[in-house]
Amino acid sequence: MSGLKFTVEQIVWQEVPGEVSLAFLFSGCPLRCKGCHSADTWKEGIGTELTEEYLKGRLKRYRGLISCVLFMGGEWQPEALQKMLAIVAQEGLKACLYTGLDREELEAVSDGILPYLTYLKTGRWQME
């Protein structure tokens, strides 16, 4: 499987309350929720690869300006995501994951992700 690829990278203020976050939206979400706002990113392999070097460079550049890193998805590549979370932790930043899974499903995918998270937003998008 290819590495984690993102289609959007931006600094966000609202998505994680009280934090200034560097956010990455990953492509390849397999859940296919009806009404998904990011359906254009479902296709696996589109976007730019998030390498460890790239993330480290970004965190260096934004040092002192951000307090958190938000990953939107990526739990379908748990090992790669865990590596990125470890880098975030090394920088002393908080981490947030938006996942379409619930907590139990996420634990089933990987028990290595949760310990790194300061914030977790779970659950599939529901149209209503």
Residues forming contacts to ligand SF4 in the complex (CB under 6 A) are: 29, 31-33, 36, 38, 73, 100, 124-125
Residue nearest to ligand SF4 (CB): 100
- Rounded to the nearest whole angstrom, what is the least distance from the CB of residue 127 to ligand SF4 in the complex? 10
CB of 57 to ligand SF4, least distance (A): 26
State the minimum distance, in angstroms, from the CB of residue 124 to ligand SF4.
5
Count CA atoms within 13 Å of residue 66 on its CB side: 25
Residue pair 108/37 in contact by the 8 Å Cβ criterion:
no
Sign of the torsion angle spanned by Cα atoms 42, 46, 47, 49: positive
